[in-house]
Each structure stands twice: as structure tokens, then as C-alpha cells.
């Protein structure tokens, strides 16, 4: 099993499914379901950061190596476990992708319960973002009425959430200012060489309603070729879509590259799309994960890491080869200086 760094538990769960003789796709879906259910992962499933209107919209895809089938859902509202829903599209329809209201109605038809996916934590971050938007006069309709007494921006949030800790309010402002990327991609290879993959996400925070990222795009967010290997991605989806990243990596592996080289080549294509302009490239992050049919694997990131409080914290990915899940370092293309 390999996955993005938020998948230590997901890989462990998926490995348990494999060990019990379960199918590789069932394994990855059960793995990422843990992350979709977790309100504290604000980039996936329940508790994901919402769109610009404060509504959580989820994207997910699955691909099953042995049958070469795929399924995906995009811009889904009110349904928590969208990787499972994508699997249902794969198994129970003659389609590959269902989006928006149609996806929620499809879920309803299968008796999947609907729920509000927005947690108070994510609503607070959204409100902080909403209140930080200013017009040319420095005004915002959502706060700071002209007649209001002067107050710090945090006071407005404190009024709505009197119980919130200082730490949580600071987090909300931080997320409002620099929306984090996140998502989980999870890839499986079992002892008989069967492979599957899935990617599930709440997408970019504060996106335009209906914006679809790379995660539900077969060939971008995930791709599996039973003869070759599997790949997937997290990070700025727009850049991944423009190079069909997961498919590119699988093709690179087909032509003999190690997963590491295959993923670095995809990252080079992204850099090429910006003529190597490091200022523009520096404004986003993107990671790839690649698993070859013979068990070789890699995680690769565009940048060596994120700069936090003056030091660079490197990107990692999760691996489970039968024992405990562990994090390994991603190889990278470009270097940010502390």
C-alpha cells in the first residue's frame, strides 16, 4: 500500500483487508473511508473545507486493475463517503463519471444517507476567509459595519464561537489566508500482483461552486494499468489535469522508468508549463505517488517542502508493506530555501 502522508491509518486498514484476502479496490476504499469520516482532516470528506459559498463539495475516483474498470463522482454535496460512491458508479452503472446533483441523487437511489458535511471548525475557517475579502475601499459586507465599534478581526469570530480556543481561531485565519492543499490518494498491490487505486478530496478551499479538480479525473487524480502499475496525485489539481499526471506516470513506467523517474518526469512537465518560472511554480504544491507492478514505488513532490517558521519541512508519503505503516520522504524537483 502507498498513499499520501495523511494515509498512515488508511494504509494499515487497507493492508488488513488485503491480508484477509479482500480485493485491492475494496482495500483502498475501506482505507480512505477512515479519512473521509475524520472531521479533523479538513481536506477530505466530512469536515472538508467548503467552496466559496460555504458548501462542502467532494470529488473522488476509483480504478480497479483486474477488471480495468473505473468510476468517479464530482462536486458531490451531502454525501460523506464519495470513494465508495465512485465504486458504486463503477459497479452499478453503465457510466464512468457522475457529477453534481445527479451524483447526490444517485447516492439517494442507493439508500446512502445524506448529511451536512460542514463542521463548525471548517465553517469558522470559511467565515474567516469570507470576512477577510475586501473591496477597493477596504470594506466587507460580512463584517466591520461602518457603525460598528473598532475591533480586531478575531473578535468577530470570537463572537460567533465564544468557546473556540485561541489556537483554533489562529488556525482559521491561517487557513483563510493560505488555503492548504490536501486529499488522499491510495494505491494497492496484492501478493498476486493485482492493483487498484482511489483518490478522494474536498478539493481546493473557497473554490467556485462546481469547480472540479483532478481527483475525480481518471488519468489525472488516479490511473491504474494492471500490466504496468498505478499512480495518483494530491495538490493543485489544475496543474495535474494539464499534464494528465497519473496516466503520464503509468506510461513512463510502461516505457521502463522507475516510479521515481516516472513521477519526476511528470513534475518536469508541470515546470515546463510555466517555462520553469520558479516564482509562479512556488505559489503551489503538487505531489505524485507511483506504484509499479513489481512492487517498486515512490512519492515525488514539486518542491522539497513547505517553509514553516524559517525551516523547510519536507514532503512525505505513507507506505505499508505488511507490518506497520510508515512515512517515507518524497523525492523532489525544485528546492525552496529556508
Question: Would you please indicate which residues are annotated as catalytic (active-site) residues?
Answer: 183
Q: Is 26 in the site for ligand ASP (CB under 6 A)?
A: no
Of residues 237, 245, 299, 305, which one binds ligand ASP by CB under 6 A? 237
Q: Is 182 in the site for ligand ASP (CB under 6 A)?
A: yes
Measured N-to-C along each axis, helices 245-254 and 259-273 cross at an angle, to the nearest 10 degrees, of: 140
Cβ neighbours around 308 below 10 Å, total = 9
Q: Where does this chain touch ligand ASP (CB under 6 A) — which range of 69-77, 141-149, 155-163, 234-242?
A: 234-242
CB of 182 to ligand ASP, least distance (A): 5
* Ramachandran bin of 54, using left for φ above 0, alpha for ψ from -120 to 50, beta for the remaining angles: left
CB of 178 to ligand ASP, least distance (A): 12
Q: Is 191 exposed, middle or buried (0-12, 13-18, 19+ CB in 10 A)?
A: exposed
The residues in 106-165 that bind ligand ASP, with binding defined as CB under 6 A, are none
Choice between 17 and 298, CB closer to ligand ASP:
298
CB of 115 to ligand ASP, least distance (A): 21
Q: Where does this chain touch ligand ASP (CB under 6 A) — which range of 75-83, 162-170, 178-186, 244-252?
A: 178-186
Residue 190's nearest CA partner among 39, 47, 26 is: 26
CB of 106 to ligand ASP, least distance (A): 21
Q: Is 213 in the site for ligand ASP (CB under 6 A)?
A: yes
Q: Is 50 in the site for ligand ASP (CB under 6 A)?
A: no
Number of residues that bind ligand ASP (CB under 6 A): 14
Q: Which residues pair with 334 in a beta bridge?
A: 303
**Sign of the torsion angle spanned by Cα atoms 75, 80, 83, 85:** negative
DSSP H helix total and E strand total for the chain: 11, 15
Classified as helix, coil or strand, 32 is helix
CB 213 within 8 A of CB 221: yes
Of residues 3, 183, 190, 301, which one binds ligand ASP by CB under 6 A? 183
CB 203 within 8 A of CB 181: no
Q: Is 45 in the site for ligand ASP (CB under 6 A)?
A: no
Contact residues toward ligand ASP (CB under 6 A) are 43, 181-183, 201, 203-204, 213-215, 234-237
Amino acid at each position: 500500500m502507498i498513499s499520501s502522508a495523511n494515509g498512515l491509518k488508511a494504509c494499515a486498514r487497507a493492508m488488513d483487508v488485503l491480508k484477509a484476502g479482500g480485493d485491492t479496490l475494496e482495500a483502498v476504499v475501506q482505507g480512505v473511508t477512515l479519512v473521509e469520516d475524520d472531521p479533523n482532516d479538513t481536506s477530505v470528506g466530512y469536515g472538508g473545507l467548503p467552496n466559496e459559498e460555504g458548501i462542502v463539495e467532494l470529488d473522488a475516483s476509483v480504478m480497479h486493475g483486474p477488471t480495468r474498470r473505473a468510476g468517479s463522482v464530482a462536486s458531490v454535496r451531502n454525501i460523506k463517503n464519495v470513494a465508495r460512491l465512485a465504486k458504486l458508479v463503477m459497479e452499478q452503472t453503465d457510466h464512468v463519471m457522475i457529477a453534481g446533483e445527479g451524483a447526490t441523487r444517485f447516492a439517494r437511489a442507493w439508500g446512502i444517507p445524506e448529511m451536512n458535511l460542514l463542521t463548525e471548525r471548517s465553517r469558522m475557517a470559511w467565515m474567516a476567509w469570507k470576512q477577510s475579502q475586501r473591496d477597493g475601499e477596504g470594506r466587507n459586507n460580512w463584517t466591520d459595519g461602518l457603525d460598528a465599534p473598532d475591533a480586531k478581526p478575531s473578535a468577530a469570530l470570537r463572537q460567533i464561537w465564544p468557546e473556540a480556543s485561541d489556537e483554533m481561531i489562529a488556525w482559521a485565519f491561517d487557513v483563510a489566508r493560505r488555503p492548504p492543499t490536501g486529499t488522499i490518494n491510495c494505491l494497492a498491490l496484492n501478493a498476486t500482483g493485482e492493483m487498484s487505486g482511489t483518490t478522494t478530496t474536498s478539493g481546493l478551499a473557497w473554490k467556485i461552486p462546481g469547480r472540479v479538480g483532478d481527483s475525480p479525473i481518471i488519468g489525472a487524480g488516479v490511473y491504474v494499468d494492471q500490466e504496468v502499475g498505478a499512480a495518483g496525485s494530491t495538490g493543485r489539481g489544475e496543474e495535474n489535469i494539464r499534464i494528465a499526471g497519473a496516466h503520464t506516470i503509468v506510461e513512463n513506467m510502461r516505457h521502463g522508468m522507475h516510479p521515481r523517474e516516472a513521477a519526476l518526469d511528470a513534475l518536469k512537465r508541470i515546470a515546463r508549463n510555466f517555462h520553469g518560472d520558479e516564482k509562479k511554480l512556488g505559489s503551489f504544491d503538487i505531489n505524485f505517488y507511483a506504484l509499479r507492478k513489481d512492487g517498486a514505488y515512490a512519492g515525488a513532490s514539486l518542491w522539497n517542502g513547505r517553509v514553516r517558521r524559517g525551516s523547510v519541512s519536507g514532503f512525505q508519503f505513507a507506505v505499508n508493506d505488511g507490518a506497520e505503516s510508515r512515512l517515507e520522504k518524497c523525492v523532489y524537483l525544485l528546492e525552496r530555501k529556508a
